[in-house]
């Protein structure tokens, strides 16, 4: 077994955002050496890794040369050069999740086709190679309104996704390859995080419930456990395990789902990395998602996934109307509240709806945690 701890072993992380920063909490805990690549000189990871490199994650040579300095490579963002990852694997480097897993997820059209070919329940969809093809599909009646429009690549944090109810809205969409999905009437948006290591050990976290901001299409609250029947929760975990089995990923896989009015589970999309829906686990779970990702990619035994108490996570995003040097107004007030832990991501500049941090509320009574979360949301403001 490789000696990962207090040794020359080096973990390479592609992407230096908040997910990488929170992963570095765990590498520092275990004294694992890390190198990070990110295009921004102000990346949150820069203060916590052993070596920071500024560079383009989509540039083949940059990713290849960076990866050659590491023993194991992982990523905290899907927008990385897959060809470079394939070359690194061919040279004997361990890349987790693998280039093949990323290739099947990076493009949402490919992702949807993967669900269909593996009989994973998902909303009906049509792929369109261009805006013109999308509009023609609408005019011919091959695509029906209302629908969910998604850019196949480049979408994140609510970008690249829109609910389209009329032709005027369709005309305003950007020029890009896209998918048109049926708009599903649902009771809840749920998520399950699945961990898998190279030895094949698999564990799932409890089902979480996600409440979204109506305008920004971003998660405002993540509630664990989800306030759903046990039978529905069991069904969601089984679907997530099926998705994990299909991908044979190594690391974490976040599976976002819809609970329909008939209590069926449909997979919305997946992310092969630590995920916003798992942030609650830092305070509320026996093994947080970042430690679990580390355990998985290093082929260590997976940790216990159950929660210690009820957890609610509140996303901190930039207020509308503010762009500039960030100020966390009233943060001292929320620190007075029971069970509250803020996480500030280290981004110096705020702008409307930019993810700047999150706050976790832990309480034995989930309904009380949700009330405190509402108070947190009303109290703290991310302004400039």
- 228 annotated to a ligand binding site: no
Task: Considering only the C-alpha atoms of the chain, give the largest distance between any 2 of them, rounded to a whole number of Å.
Answer: 63
- 157 annotated to a ligand binding site: no
Block residue for tokens 């669900």 = 115
- 269 annotated to a ligand binding site: yes
Question: If 0-12 CB within 10 Å is exposed, 13-18 middle and 19+ buried, where does residue 239 land?
Answer: buried
- 241 annotated to a ligand binding site: no
Question: Which tokens in the block code for residue 232?
Answer: 């529905």
Question: Which tokens in the block code for residue 92?
Answer: 């004997």
- 89 annotated to a ligand binding site: no
- 140 annotated to a ligand binding site: no
- 238 annotated to a ligand binding site: no
- 268 annotated to a ligand binding site: yes
Question: Which tokens in the block code for residue 158?
Answer: 């609510």
Q: How far apart are CA 327 and CA 330, in angstroms?
A: 9
User: How many angstroms separate the Cα of 237 from the Cα of each of 152, 187, 375?
Assistant: 26, 17, 31
- 150 annotated to a ligand binding site: yes
Sequence ranges of the binding site for ATP: 108, 150, 181-184, 189, 268-269
Annotated binding site: 108, 150, 181-184, 189, 268-269
């Amino acid at each position: 077994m490789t000696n990962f701890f207090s040794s020359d072993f080096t973990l390479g992380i592609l992407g230096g955002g908040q997910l990488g920063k929170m992963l570095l909490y765990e590498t520092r805990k275990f004294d694992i050496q890390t190198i990070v690549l990110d295009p921004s000189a102000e990346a949150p990871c820069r203060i916590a890794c052993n070596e920071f490199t500024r560079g383009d994650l989509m540039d083949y040579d940059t990713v290849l040369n960076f990866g050659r300095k590491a023993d194991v490579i992982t990523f905290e963002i899907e927008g990385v050069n897959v060809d470079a990852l394939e070359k690194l694997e061919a040279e004997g480097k361990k890349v987790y999740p693998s280039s093949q897993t990323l290739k099947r997820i990076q493009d949402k059209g490919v992702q949807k086709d993967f669900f269909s070919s593996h009989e994973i329940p998902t909303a009906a969809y049509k792929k369109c190679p261009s805006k013109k093809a999308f509009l023609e599909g609408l005019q011919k009646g091959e695509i029906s309104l209302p629908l969910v429009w998604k850019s196949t690549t480049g979408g994140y944090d609510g970008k690249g996704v829109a609910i389209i109810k009329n032709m005027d809205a369709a005309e305003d969409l950007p020029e890009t390859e896209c998918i048109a999905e049926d708009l599903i009437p649902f009771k809840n948006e749920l998520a399950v995080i699945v961990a898998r290591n190279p030895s094949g050990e698999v564990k799932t976290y409890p089902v979480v419930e996600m409440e979204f901001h109506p305008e920004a299409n971003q998660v405002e609250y993540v509630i664990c456990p989800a306030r759903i029947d046990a039978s529905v929760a069991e069904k969601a975990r089984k679907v997530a395990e099926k998705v994990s089995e299909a991908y044979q990923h190594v690391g974490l896989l976040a599976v976002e789902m819809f609970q329909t009015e008939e209590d069926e589970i449909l997979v919305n999309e997946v992310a092969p990395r630590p995920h916003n829906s798992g942030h609650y686990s830092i305070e509320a779970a026996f093994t947080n998602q970042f430690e679990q990702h580390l355990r998985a990619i290093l082929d260590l035994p997976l940790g216990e996934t159950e929660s210690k108490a009820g957890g609610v996570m509140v996303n901190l995003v930039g207020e509308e109307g503010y762009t500039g040097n960030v100020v966390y107004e009233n943060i001292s007030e929320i620190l007075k509240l029971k069970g509250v832990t803020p996480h500030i991501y280290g981004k110096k500049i705020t702008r409307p709806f930019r993810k700047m941090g999150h706050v976790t509320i832990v309480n034995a009574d989930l309904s009380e945690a949700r009330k405190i979360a509402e108070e947190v949301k009303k109290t703290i403001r991310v302004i400039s």
